[in-house]
Amino acid sequence: MTDTIGAFVPGQQFRLEGKPGGPLSGLTFAAKDLFDVAGRPTGGGNPDWARAHPVPTRHAWAVQTLLDTGAALIGKTITDEVSLGILGENPFDGTPVNPRAPGRVPGGSSAGSAAAVAAGLCDTALGTDTGGSVRVPASFCGIYGIRPTHGRLDLSGMMSQAPSSDTTGWFARDADTFARVSAVMLGEAIPNTLPKRLVVASDAFALADPETAAALEPMVARLRALVGKGREEAMAPPGLAAWARAQRTLQPYEAWLTFQEWIDRTNPRFQFSVARNLALAPTIPASERAWASLVRQEAGGRMRQLLPPGTILCLPTTPFPAPLCSQPISVLEPLRDRITALCSHGGLTGVPQISIPGATVEGVPVGLSIIGARGSDATLVAVARAMAGG
Amino acid sequence: MTDTIGAFVPGQQFRLEGKPGGPLSGLTFAAKDLFDVAGRPTGGGNPDWARAHPVPTRHAWAVQTLLDTGAALIGKTITDEVSLGILGENPFDGTPVNPRAPGRVPGGSSAGSAAAVAAGLCDTALGTDTGGSVRVPASFCGIYGIRPTHGRLDLSGMMSQAPSSDTTGWFARDADTFARVSAVMLGEAIPNTLPKRLVVASDAFALADPETAAALEPMVARLRALVGKGREEAMAPPGLAAWARAQRTLQPYEAWLTFQEWIDRTNPRFQFSVARNLALAPTIPASERAWASLVRQEAGGRMRQLLPPGTILCLPTTPFPAPLCSQPISVLEPLRDRITALCSHGGLTGVPQISIPGATVEGVPVGLSIIGARGSDATLVAVARAMAGG
């Protein structure tokens, strides 16, 4: 299929058939260029990564799982450099077109996977989510995307960034495909029963643009109809800014530890914004990291308190739809900070989250997210399917 | 001429004839890709610079001057990214081979100009020197190179980095060509009289590798024979490290001010070491910059005291010959710091300096430098020529 939107890494469109007769037979998928595909370089969105690492000889667990259950792999998709980015703008491999909003960013770092699914180039696609890298492009491209419970899936063959926050996620255009793929990836049937209680995250809705919050209201109403009227409550009592600050302390520092040796050895090329975050990470004081670790503990406790079995929480996936492409760093930086503030609970607490499409602001998509307790991934998929049901 | 050493920017070899009958007739020259050549992009060693700037419609003053006096321009040469580098390793345009020491860096940032002259691809070449960018590659490639008195030459059409330290310099393989070009660029005849007093910078020789200091001894002896026995004295009484720290404070901060708007607007690609220095520059406290400015004032006074008319100072241009290519950042960083420590007086005080070839350490070239009072450039050229005379 012709890649009219630049979703695939140049030269990395191919076809690997899945095992016949599996539950995903007939589906096609793509893999973010952070996943190993045997015999092909893992590019990681940076021209100096593959140069410094051997070509993998085995498929990543997630790739092997989809192939084993019948899906066909059709290529590797563009990612922000070494997954450090939330907008999907990559000056080396190119920035995928957002099929639902041309001229706007696709969201990242799983940019190409989201764009390929949104454009109908494949049925599903693998992404990774450390600080929002599946949730944000799902919201911006108007598709389903999941960040599973941290630690639940086997991440072997997936390039790591900040291991205490890294997850493997996936996308789909429709709820049925999303449920089929999710059942396989989670290794668990999608239940028919739904949760009974809803919490609407008042702080997250307040941080969103009013137009975005308003656009999501009909979806929230539908959730209330399915799950129960629920209550409004702040997700992060110390403030989303405090949680975001903690995540923006822990994650870049951990990423620095991950990439430090490679950077020292090869002095790789990066776009300035990526290099700057890596360069500043080792200057973060130990006292700040200690504070951030304590905030993480507290946030985990808060989520356990807020989300007993049978309760889910909803919030805007992103505070606004996709920003325009190629804006100055000084314009994008405060936008990035607000996006992070609606995503940091994932890395901090490890709870699963699904972004559900269905709203638009002036024709540009934005997603509603649902969150449940750790391990409740399949229940969230059931809710997403029920939301799509007539 | 075939560029067997990768000195020229890909696609930027051409020929522009000089005005017939001038004093430089018959000579060829190359220009570092920081100088404007009408109708050709000024690349600046970075793939995102030319993209963001218009193609110049006029030649830089230095290019026009050489063309007007008869030299023919044969191409544009590779530079460290936006002149931020001292080793000459450029991952975008390529790293020029050091013709005198293959496998070792050519030195930078005027890497391609020095390599092209050393390889005999042209007779002379334009470079720039802010923190050592002519002196270091002259030393590493075994050729003549001058950093003129700061503020003496017209820098129009030369990409700036840190204006209070920026200069235009040039290279040659032999002393006669060097003197011919220097007379034109300086607009002043090269005198026949030599200075009468020599100061040997004891602190600079002590900071050099002992093998390098020893290799330069015969050149120092020749200088003594020409200029007078002289005396040994520290150039920088507060320590070369203090001067280096001041220059490493002022120059990156000023470079950040120069490039800030472009960086913000285009989020350019850089190798990590370059981006890191730019990213850390705005974090330098104002108190540190104030201290550095005071050190600069003091250093200027010291140089005026040390170098009355008729006195020159000599020191190793670099503390060692060219390091091996492609070493880890953590290996190169302390080497860079030592190189800077022997160069920072240039940016701090604006005195002119010429690096003279003639010594080797295990076959690898290293230069001896002479420095004079501001404005004494032609006298230094006379000394360089006398050193080469039988």
Residues of chain B contacting A, Cβ within 8 Å: 48, 89, 91-92, 263-265, 267-273, 275-276, 278-280, 283, 328-330
d(CA B387, CA B390): 8
pLDDT value, residue B226: 96
Query: How much is the pTM?
Result: 0.94
User: Percent of chain A at pLDDT above 90?
Assistant: 98
pLDDT value, residue B389: 87
**Which among A271, A278, A330 is the nearest to B268, CB-wise?**
A271
pLDDT value, residue A390: 52
Query: Which residue is listed with tokens 């996977």?
Result: A113
- The rounded radius of gyration (Å) of the Cα atoms in chain B is 19
d(CA B257, CA B47): 20
Q: Are strands B28-32 and B311-316 parallel, antiparallel or unpaired?
A: unpaired
Is residue A89 very low, low, confident or very high in pLDDT (cuts 50, 70, 90)? very high
Give the pLDDT mean for A82-100: 97
Tokens of A351: 């709870």
Give the pLDDT mean for A34-58: 97
pLDDT value, residue B390: 52
A8-186 and A197-240+286-388: same fold?
Answer: yes
Predicted confidence pLDDT, tens digits, chain B (390 residues)? 799 999 999 999 999 999 999 999 999 999 999 999 999 999 999 999 999 999 999 999 999 999 999 999 999 999 999 999 999 999 999 999 999 999 999 999 999 999 999 999 999 999 999 999 999 999 999 999 999 999 999 999 999 999 999 999 999 999 999 999 999 999 999 999 999 999 999 999 999 999 999 999 999 999 999 999 899 999 999 999 999 999 999 999 999 999 999 999 999 999 999 999 999 999 999 999 999 999 999 999 999 999 999 999 999 999 999 999 999 999 999 999 999 999 999 999 999 999 999 999 999 999 999 999 999 999 999 999 999 985
Residue A248 has pLDDT above 60, yes or no: yes
Q: A308-321 pLDDT, tens per residue?
A: 999 999 999 999 99
Domains in chain A: boundaries: 8-186, 197-240+286-388
pLDDT value, residue B258: 98
CB pairs under 8 A between A and B: 74
Q: Helix/strand/coil (H, E, C) string of chain A?
A: CCCCCCCEEEEEEEEECCCCCCCCCCCEEEEECCECECCECCCCCCCCCHHHCCCCCCCCHHHHHHHHCCCEEEEEECCCHHHCCCCCCCCCCCCCCCCCCCCECCCCCCHHHHHHHHCCCCCEEEEECCCCCCHHHHHHHCCEEEECCCCCCCCCCECCCCCCCCCEEEEECCHHHHHHHHHHHHCCCCCCCCCCEEEEEHHHHHHCCHHHHHHHHHHHHHHHHHHCCCEEECCCCCCHHHHHHHHHHHHHHHHHHHHHHHHHHHCCEEEHHHHHHHHHHHHCCHHHHHHHHHHHHHHHHHHHHHCCCCEEEEEECCCCCCCECCCCHHHHHHHHHHHHHCCHHHHHHCCCEEEEEEEEECCEEEEEEEECCCCCHHHHHHHHHHHHCC
Tokens of A120: 């109908």
- Asked if the Cβ–Cβ distance from B267 to A89 is below 8 Å, we say yes
Tokens of A379: 């229940």
pLDDT value, residue B121: 98
Classified as helix, coil or strand, B30 is strand
Is B330 marked active-site?
Answer: no
Chain A residues within 8 A of B283 when measuring between CB atoms: 280, 283
d(CA B348, CA B111): 23
Orientation angle between helical segments B377-388 and B210-227, nearest 10 degrees = 100
A197-240+286-388 maps to which CATH number? 3.90.1300.10
Topology of domain A8-186, CATH: Amidase signature (AS) enzymes (3.90.1300)
Topology of domain B9-186, CATH: Amidase signature (AS) enzymes (3.90.1300)
- Asked if the Cβ–Cβ distance from A267 to B89 is below 8 Å, we say yes
Rounded to a whole number of angstroms, the distance from the CA of A36 to the nearest CA of chain B is: 25
pLDDT value, residue A389: 86
Is B109 marked active-site?
Answer: yes
**Which among A264, A275, A283 is the nearest to B270, CB-wise?**
A275
Other C-beta atoms lying within 10 Å of the C-beta of residue A58: 13
Determine the distance from the C-alpha atom of residue B355 to the mean position of all C-alpha atoms in its chain, rounded to a whole number: 9
Mutation target to probe the A interface, by most A beta carbons within 10 A, among B95, B256, B276, B336 is: B276
Mutation target to probe the A interface, by most A beta carbons within 10 A, among B272, B278, B284 is: B272
Tokens of B360: 């080797």
d(CA B303, CA B300): 5
Q: Are strands A28-32 and B168-172 parallel, antiparallel or unpaired?
A: unpaired
Residues of chain A contacting B, Cβ within 8 Å: 48, 89, 91-92, 263-265, 267-273, 275-276, 278-280, 283, 328-330
CA angle A158, A162, A164 (to 5 degrees): 100
